[in-house]
Amino acid sequence: MDRFLIVFIIIVSYIVLLFILRYLEIGAKKESSAWSNCCPDCSLALNRVQRLYKDKIVYNITLRIFEYKRYRCKACGWEGLRWGKNYKSGKSKKK
């Protein structure tokens, strides 16, 4: 097979996979009746913490489709990335 075709198929497959993950809401913020963003382990509130350098790399590798933010749970110690379900483009609209 042609190398270009293989690379093209891999890139298209990767982009489709990213949109499937977004559609299935894998890694999205979890909501409960008491909290708008709760821990996936213990369902208590999460607190924002500073992003790590590797988080910025993941954000760019995922083509900025997911707006990742790093959170930590004070109750159980869980720490990880979560993204909001509302998609925001990189451009802001000014009136």
What digits encode the pLDDT tens for the residues 22-63? 999 998 988 888 888 899 888 889 999 999 999 999 999 999
Of all residues in the chain, the percent with pLDDT exceeding 70 is 88
pLDDT for position 31: 85
pLDDT at 13: 97
Torsion, Cα 80 28 30 35, to 10 degrees, reads 80
pLDDT of residue 7: 95
What span, in angstroms and rounded, lies between the C-alpha atoms of 93 and 23?
A: 25
Residue-range domain boundaries for the chain? 27-85
pLDDT of 10 above 70: yes
